[in-house]
Chains A and B, each alone.
Chain A
Amino acid sequence: MLRKTASMSVTGAFLLVTLIAILFVSPKKTGAQTGNALASPTPDTSRAFADKAVPSVRGTKVDIWTAQQPAQNRFVSSPSGICTDPICKVGSPGFVETGYYKGMGSPVQNQLQQYVTYKNINGIPEPVWGLGNLNDNTWYTFQTLYSQTAQRWEAWRNGQLVWYVPTPLNFTQGALVRCGAEGKPIGVQLGVEVENMRYKLTGGNTWILYNYTDTFIEGPYCVFKPAEFGAFGWGPC
């Protein structure tokens, strides 16, 4: 009996010591892994996107008003593009987008420029700036397109091809079209107006107009809210 009790006590003590060891060692291990100044990923909330799920979409074309963007903004951009995921969130989706870009982090201070960002599925975004200087208070038509004849993703402005990447991305169509406004830092005033949103399907060659009421609004910013530097709205406003 005594031997059995002693055996149980030794086993219990061993388990207790093991548990304590796990509790003490685990936090140290986690701390070592994150032992630098880099923060944990957080979602961006400074955006107002109009999303529309469109299966087999290969092009998007949007009229965008550049407005007069404030000089002190870190950056404001007007993304319009295609995402491979119908819920285009941080993570693995591939995408191609274009639009205008301006800001303190941009190459030319307070100069609007066209940009492209593209990303393979499971890849890392590759931004391309300096695709033409743009004017304030001007309408531009921005377009992303997967050319089925040339087999490449392209970016256009006002009917002119400005950029393409012939090395294949690992997708040729998307599941979502998106346009809207994005800025930094969080809380920055956004003022991007977009109209005449159109998309093109794989196998088709016509631009299909869609109404803003079809879209899902992504982000906490208001829709069609008059702003200091323009109005954020789209469709037949």
Chain B
Amino acid sequence: MDILIEGVGKRFDGVAALSPIDLAIPSGQLVALLGPSGSGKTTLLRLIAGLLPVDGGRIRFGDNDATRLSLRDRRVGFVFQHYALFPHMSVFENVAFGLRSQPRRQRPAEATIRKKVDDLLELVQIAALRDRLPAQLSGGQRQRVALARAMAIDPTVLLLDEPFGALDAKVRIELRRWLRTLHDETGLTTVFVTHDQEEALELADRVVVMNQGAIVQDDVPERVYSHPASPFVFDFIGRSNQIEGEVRDGLFFAAGMSTPLTSDDCPVGPATLYSRPHDLRLSESGKGLQAKVLEVRRLAGRVTLEAALAGQTRPLVMDLSSHDLLALPAAGERIGLSLQHYRVFAAAR
């Protein structure tokens, strides 16, 4: 079911946690709300779930105004950051909770409940653990139980709060792939909150980047990465280099740059150039940005180079391609760098 958010905001004790925003999430998509802590992403998720009342605006699930529905009638599958499993109930009873909580007239027969829960446990691949207590499970297993429990009520939408936050790195990547497959199988409209840009980019159909209670970019992962809408997004999504300078006559000038660069449509005035570490190259002619090598580091099969640019306070970081490795510069050596891709943004004032 598609979710339509119109002018929804939230203030806590007079402080805006979320400025009124609009957002449309088409049916069947897997959407990431990405942002640093305090960006309002979890608030937005809880507003969609109905765990928080909206201050104003409307949230529609399909044709229904969800803001007028009770939590029970919204039928939202919510997976909590720390899972919030019921510690005194077995895995089976945890998953059956939503079915057993339905009003008596709508409650399915015991046999139907058993069948449905067993099917769900099968789907999330923990059928063998059905009689265990949550305390006897690993983090990844608890996550699966929480997911099965949320899906038991045939939710209209599935919402996940930092679904992989509490897991170790290896399990996280494994579960991430699995969640993607599961989503493709079930086709449930799914929204998840994360502060991990890699997770958002890899998993989601669409990434909604948030900062300071507002949406700063809403796009497919590929474009969020390659065409960040603002300096904040550029800096938040992946590593970045920044060069201070100014824009004149459609060109970007900076100390340490022998030739100016075209500056997109950035207005005249002080500006900052942003570029990714892997978009820097050693120029063969020694032209381009004039820099001095500070340090060469090898880490996990990758070689990174740190270089100081004349007249710039912050050093540049670049990933060397295998091509560059033939003539690896040493610390102290002077090199020329060329930029493959970059973006110029007007300096914040």
The judgment on whether A and B are partners is: no
